[in-house]
Amino acid sequence: MLVSWEWLSQYVYLKNTPDEIANRLSLSGLNHEETTAVDGDTVLDLEVTSNRADCLCHIGIAREIGVLTQQQLCLPEAKIATSGEDITKSWKLSVEAPAACPRYTGRIIRGVKVGPSPAWLVKRLAAIGCKSVNNIVDVTNYVMFELGQPLHAFDLRHVRGNQVVVRMAQEGEQLVAIDHKQYKLNPSMVVIADAQRALALGGIMGGADSEVSGSTVDLLIEAADFAPRVIRSTARALKLHSPSSFRFERRIDARQLDWASRRCCELIVQVAGGTIQNGILDSATTTIEPPTPFTFRCSEIERVLGISIPITEVTRIVPALGCKLVDEGNGQYLITPPTWRADLTREIDMIEELARIYGYEQIPENVPVPMFSSAKRPKDVVLERIRGVMIAAGLDEALTPSVVTQASDEMLSPWTDLAALSTDIALLEGATRLRRSLIPSLLTCRLHNQAQSARDADLFEVAQIYLPSAEGGLPREQCTLGWVSGSNFNTSKGILESLLESVCGVQNWKFADWSNKLLEAGEGTKLQLNGDTLGYVGTFSKSGRKELKLEGTCSFVEISVDGLLALARIVPTAKVISPYPAVVRDLNLVLDEACRWHQLFETVRSAGGELLKDLQYRETYRDANKDGEGKKRVLFSFALQSDDRTLTSQEADDCVKRIIQSCEQSLGGRLIAS
C-alpha cells in the first residue's frame, strides 16, 4: 500500500519525520517496505496484513499514526447539496443477488463537464502510482485511496431502461471491461446490469460500454458492498485483479458507504461541476446493526502478555483506536469497536491492540521458563541408525517431491495395486499423483545425475508414501526408506541385511520371490517376517534399464520404516560371550540346483542345535563332469561352541555328523571329502 506523506498530512498532524513514522508503523503492524521521493512528496510503501482492510486507505493509515503519536484525526465531512426530483421516482434498483452484493447504493449527478483533473488531484494520484484518466474517474479513485471504499461512475446515458439490476451473470454472458478485453462470465460472478445487459463486473471493473467519456454528461455513482468470496473467485477465474477487487476481497466497511458516496459526489461537483439529484438508490431495507460490544477485563492483559499495562494507557489507547469505552468497575470495561474494525470483536483482539500500541518492546525476553522433560522418540533413534548405515554404505541422502507424474507413478508400485490418490492441481509440471513408492523419484534423480555425467549417484530417501485404502478416506501414510544404486543385487541386499541387523537385531527374516517386468529374472525379492511384507529388493534387467534409460547396473531397495520401527531393538542387551573355544568346520555339499541356501541354512541350524553359533555361506560352484547336470556344490562354514564347557572333539564330531546326516536326509545332499 503506497501512502503519500502530503496526502496523510490532510488528516493528521505529522510531527515526526517519515523515517520515524515508518519505523513506528513497522513495529505496530504496518510493515514498512521502502520510502521513495515522488515529485517533492514522500511515499511510504507499507505492507497491510489481510485482517487490516481499514488500513488500505490514507485515512486508515492517518488513524494509526494519530493513535501512535497521540494526534487528533481531521476527516472530510462530505457535505453535498442536492436538487431536483428524487431519483427513486424514475429509477429502479433491484438486487437479485443479495448474497453476492449485501448492499448497493447509487446517486445521480447531472450536467458534469468531463475533462482533465486539476493539478492537485493528478499529483496525489501520481504519487501513489495511479495514472490520471479524467476528472470523474480520478475522483472515484481518489476517494477509494482516501477512505478505502471502491466506487464506480457509469455514464448514465448507457444505463438503459432506468433500471439498475445487480444479478449473477448468465452462463457464457460476455462483457468488455474498461481494459477493453472481453471476458466470458458464468453464474458464480456478480454483474451490474441495466434492463438489457451487463454493464460492469461487480466489485472488480466497469464495462467499456458505460464508461465515462468526453461526451458524458450525467453520471450514476455506485457505492456498494460485495461479498469477499465472490469477488475473490471471480478475480482469480478471470485473472482480473484491480485495486477495487483487492479491497472487496478483504471486506469493506459497509457502514461508511453513504459517506463515501457523498464524498465522491462532493469532489466530482468540485472538479467537474454538475448537480447532485435528490435521493439515493439503496438496496438496504434496514439500517445495519452497529458493532457488538464486548467485555474487557484488564487482568487478562497480564495473563496473556506476561506484563501489565497501566490503566491510564488502556484508557488512552482504546478510545484513540475509535472504540467506545464504558467503565463497568473492578477493572472491567464494555468496549464497542468502531465500524471499520471488523477484526476487533473479542477481548483477546483488544489485548493485541493494546500490546502493539503500547509496544512489544515492553515485553521482556528473559523471564523464567519452567523445565520440561523431553526425550528422543524411538522413531528418531531408528532414523538415526538408518541414516548412519546408509552413509556408511556410501549412499547420499536425497529429498524428492511427494507428488509425481503419472508416468513416474506407474513405473513401479510394489506396495499396492490400488490407484494413487491425485491432486486437483499439479505440484510441479504434470505432477498430480501422490506417490506410492520412492523408487521412481530416486530413479529420476539418478537419471538427472547421469545426464550431468555423475554415473555414481547412489541415493536414498526417507519419506512418506501414500497407500490408498480400499474404503477411501485418508490414505495410509507409510514412512519408507528407499535407495537406488549402481551396485548389483547381492550388494544391495547385503546393505539391507546389515541395516536390518543394526536396527532390529537378529530376526527370522524370509526373502520371498518377487518379480516385476522391469526386473532381472531371479533378482527380485521381498522381505518378509511372519507373513508380513516389509520391503523389496530388485535389480533392473537390461530391457528394464533400456526402458528407463538407465546406464549400467542399477538395483534398488524399498523398505517400510514403520515396519522396522515395530521390530526395532532400541536398547540392545548384552549376552555373555562364551569363554570356551569354538570349533570351526567347513563343509562342501553337492546339492540339487533347486535347493536354496535358506533351506540349507534352516537344516543346518536345526541339526546343529544350540551348539551352532555361526553359520556362513562361502561359495557355490558347479562341476557337471563330476556331479552330473542339475547339481551344485555349496561350501559353507560354521562354528560350534558351548556356553558352559569346552567341547570334546567327540561332541564336535557328533554334531558335525548330525548336520551332515540331516542335510543328506532332508536335502539329498552329499558330502564331498575335502
Partner 1 sequence: MELNEFVHQLDELEKQAVGELSGIQDATALEEIRIKYLGAKSGQFKNVQKSMGALAATDRPAGGKRFNEVKNAIQAAFDEAQNRASQQATKSTGPLADPTLPGARIRLGHVHPITQTIEHLKEIMGRLGFSVTEGPEVEDPWHNFVALNIPDDHPARDPLDNFYLKTAEKNSGATRLLRSQTSTVQIRVMESRQPPVRIISLGRVYRPDEADATHFPMFHQMEGLWVDRGVTMAQLKSVLRLFATSYLGGDVNIRFRPSFFPFTEPSVEVDFWWSGRWIEFGGAGMVDPNVLNAVGYDPEVYTGFAFGLGVERLCMRRHQVTDIRDLYRNDVRFLRQF
Residues 391 to 450: which contact partner 1 by CB under 8 A? 391-403, 421-425, 427-428, 434, 445, 448-449
Which grid cell is 659? 548336520
Return the number of the residue (76 or 359) whose C-beta is nearest partner 1.
Answer: 359
Q: Tell me the C-alpha distance between 22 and 308, whole Å.
A: 27
Interaction between residue 292 and partner 1 (CB under 8 A): no
Contact 674, 586 (CB under 8 A): yes
Q: Where are the beta strands (DSSP E) in 530-642?
A: 532-540, 555-560, 583-592, 612-621, 631-640
Q: How far is the CB of 26 from partner 1 (least distance, A)?
A: 6
Return the number of the residue (28 or 141) whose C-beta is nearest partner 1.
Answer: 28
Stretch that binds partner 1, among 12-20, 70-78, 348-356, 608-616 (CB under 8 A): 348-356
Interaction between residue 99 and partner 1 (CB under 8 A): no
Interaction between residue 232 and partner 1 (CB under 8 A): yes
Q: 18, 76, 102, 228: which one contacts partner 1 (CB under 8 A)?
A: 228
Q: How far is the CB of 653 from partner 1 (least distance, A)?
A: 42
Return the number of the residue (472 or 531) whose C-beta is nearest partner 1.
Answer: 472
Residue 397 pairs in a beta bridge with 460
Q: What's the angle, vertex CA 410, arms to CA 404 and CA 416, rounded to 5?
A: 100
Q: In the 8-state DSSP scheme, what is residue 395? A: P
Indicate the pairing of strand 396-397 with strand 459-467: parallel
Q: In the 8-state DSSP scheme, what is residue 138? A: H
Collapsed DSSP state (helix, strand, coil) of residue 195: coil
Q: 15, 160, 184, 303: which one contacts partner 1 (CB under 8 A)?
A: 303
What character string, x for contact with partner 1 (CB under 8 A) and - otherwise, covers 352-381? x--xx---xx-xxxxxxx-xxxxxxx--x-
Interaction between residue 173 and partner 1 (CB under 8 A): no
Interaction between residue 31 and partner 1 (CB under 8 A): yes
Q: How far is the CB of 27 from partner 1 (least distance, A)?
A: 6
Q: How far is the CB of 525 from partner 1 (least distance, A)?
A: 23
Q: Tell me the C-alpha distance between 17 and 5, whole Å.
A: 10
Collapsed DSSP state (helix, strand, coil) of residue 158: helix
Interaction between residue 214 and partner 1 (CB under 8 A): no
Interaction between residue 626 and partner 1 (CB under 8 A): no
Interaction between residue 299 and partner 1 (CB under 8 A): no
Return the number of the residue (77 or 361) whose C-beta is nearest partner 1.
Answer: 361
Interaction between residue 334 and partner 1 (CB under 8 A): no
Contact 62, 8 (CB under 8 A): yes
Return the number of the residue (490 or 606) whose C-beta is nearest partner 1.
Answer: 490
Interaction between residue 74 and partner 1 (CB under 8 A): no
Considering Cα of 205, then 209, then 212, then 217, what sign does the dihedral take? negative
Interaction between residue 458 and partner 1 (CB under 8 A): yes
Q: Tell me the C-alpha distance between 621 and 393, whole Å.
A: 28
Contact 609, 655 (CB under 8 A): yes
Q: How far is the CB of 434 from partner 1 (least distance, A)?
A: 7
Candidates 149, 166, 102; CA nearest to 262 is: 149
Interaction between residue 50 and partner 1 (CB under 8 A): yes
Interaction between residue 457 and partner 1 (CB under 8 A): yes
Sequence-ordered list of residues with C-beta below 8 angstroms from that of 384, at least 6 positions apart, any chain = none
279: left (phi over 0), alpha (psi -120 to 50) or beta: left
Q: 84, 111, 290, 306: which one contacts partner 1 (CB under 8 A)?
A: 306
Return the number of the residue (424 or 619) whose C-beta is nearest partner 1.
Answer: 424
Interaction between residue 470 and partner 1 (CB under 8 A): no
Q: What's the angle, vertex CA 339, arms to CA 334 and CA 342, rounded to 5?
A: 85
